[in-house]
Structure 1
Amino acid sequence: MNTMQGYMRENGTLGIRNYILVISTVSCVNSISSKIAQKTGAIAINHEQGCVEFKDDHKRTVLSISSAGKNPNVAGVLVVGLGCEQTSSQPLIRSIEATGKPVEFVRVQDEGGSPEAIQKGIELVEKLQKQASELKRDECSVEGLVVGVQCGGSDWTTAISGNTVIGRMTDLVVKNGGSVLMSEVAGFPGSEHIVAEQAVSHEVGLEVFQMVDELRADFVKDYGQTIEKINPTPGNKAGGITTLVEKSMGNIKKMGSSPIQGLLKLEDKIPYPGLWIVDSRVQGPDQFSTSGFAILGANVTVFSTGRGTPIGNAVMPLIKITGNPKSYQKLNSILDFNAGVVLEGATIEETGEELYKLLLEVASGKQTKSEINENFEFVVPREPKRKVV
């Protein structure tokens, strides 16, 4: 089974959902965006900035919220502005409209206040929802599908069963013409030589070494300590992971055996299908990486968690898998797939193929637990400030 039921967008991209987003241009209107979304069933994209930002920070804010709106899983967008913020609404709207999807706009200062803006926003979202309901799925190949792979809340089973099964799925996605995005740069130290050997060329391998070397040096320069001081996390250690090298060896299992085509920044476009490393050196929880995948146009992320986590994403479903059969039994309401069967005798190959089948089912409309539970997180993935020396 290498076909799925998706939505071909006007700009040639492949969507697997018809989400309607309500996007705040500035944090001042977050509560208004949230109320519109709550009353309509749309999804709010809120953030902490949008005004009084320096150039690079504001550029990242605009990149994040505009890319969320342009993601092929999104069928329509309501932009909610205040009227005096730094974020310019019209360029934001035009960039999203360029993908061919409808965009509506409400400005609080023009509407007369919060209640009026909320009522107007509800009417506009309902209009967008009606338009989206008329879109139909078509049979599509895996070509054009973009899949993120991530792990968080890891324990000793993550490397042995969870991430290894994802690696098998990765190879199947790439083999059938899709793209896979892998991030978690802070989880590479100790295994960068293995990652580099998997690169498609010597030049790409050197880029991997340089990325990790720079990361290590930045930690020492900016914080006066090595990355090993904070990674593995306390939760990782409680779950049986003892060192960063041990954690990184498990982390890279998600890449399978496919050749790494290159490194991407969040502002880049995926040049062609294959396995790509996202060089996003953010320091924060897992939402930073999953939001980065969404910014790059991912349709879905397959997320391995040994200990369990409820997170989702505002513009794509997360397929939550665990390599720990006890976690799957205990946290079934937030987990979609039990890779822990490998510990009980199932093969990695067969289990990876079952995960691939689930991926295609989700791409064709099957809801994940993150969607059912309405876990729709989205953050602006900001990189740490560098000291000027």
Structure 2
Amino acid sequence: MSEEFLKVARAAREAAAELAPLPRAAKDRALRAVADALVEHGKEIIEANAVDVDKAREGGTSEAMIDRLRLDEARIEAIAQAVRDIAELPDPVGEVVRGGTLPNGLELRQLRVPLGVIGIIYEGRPNVTVDGAALCLKSGNAVLLRGSSSAYSSNTALVRIMQEALEATEVPAGAVQLVPGLTRDSVKELMRARGLVDVLIPRGGASLINSVVEESTVPVIETGVGNCHVYVDADADLDLAVQILVNAKAQRPSVCNAAETFLVHVDVAERFLPMALAALSEAGVTVHGDERVAAHGGVVPATEDDYYAEYLSLDIAAAVVDSLEAAVAHIRKYGSGHTDAIVTRSQGAARRFVQRVDSAAVAVNASTRFTDGGEFGFGAEIGISTQKLHARGPMGLPELTSTKWVYTGEGHLRTSKGTVIPASGG
């Protein structure tokens, strides 16, 4: 590993040890100081961001992507407010998960503790730099940030300003670090920093996440890829189903909890499809459908790849299925385990769907767009985990912690005959 990388990784490691025992009040004061500094230094941030925007435009980047990259005064204020909001959230560190007194008198508690050093590899918007840092600090973790090279100037300014703000607080400034370098080599160093980094969280498209999962020697929490489904059951309220479908697809199509496929039971397909296709067309959505969907016209014939696709655009795949079980089989084959929804008036159908669909979130008569930490009442989130170990679904502050066991005795000794408590020598 390069000396540059080792320097920031070791600094984060040392800072993590200092940060972990700090009380909530100290962390909250530090977060508010960061928020104030971002607003105070807004002009510097905008100037640094302009360098990234100009490079992106010269490189032929689309205006949509440039808009995701761009920062202005209003966006900086929104980023700062998000940090203040995180300061108001409950601190998970020190929470007793479970515990009690054992028969031998030992007092046993399982406590939430920080993970340590979290590495975040992400694409796109520089606001993730601040969001990720704030969430890690609140949960007692140091963070190594590796954003996209397209936002390097912006991220450098943001991290510098956050570090300067932390220097006047009890939180060590080294707790927030930007991974140096613009090439893939710096990403590889972060992925292979086992022993310095406790966990990696990739945020971005499927190719980024797959690359991190396949190449990393550091434990990874997968987030974000969402091939979400809406299944319209034979007993669905079809008017309601149309509203849910259009909301799930078109309300914000570029996010991981947007619907990418809809399935309709054959018994209601002839009635539902004309309604759905008209509503989706009005919302600007292109439907990629199987033969039974395409028979209704105005549909692009679907390929196998369409059913695996996370479009993140105003496109959606569609198919007619012969049963609820066929819908579940389709989701199992093509889905990403993020969020899948059923629209039905049948409690039995809803129950079977919930039991058989193995996803991080399952919605009944509701849009897939609700799979979100804020919507679930957790406050901010670091991402949405689609794996099963450690965390699954929206990852709020508790998911950025591990646990430790603490047991307290009165000189308890374990012997072959059982527990012995020696008499006090005092």
TM-score under structure 2 normalisation?
Answer: 0.28
Considering only CA atoms, is the larger Rg found in Structure 1 or Structure 2?
2
TM-score under structure 1 normalisation?
Answer: 0.30
Higher relative contact order (CA 8 A, sep 6+): 1
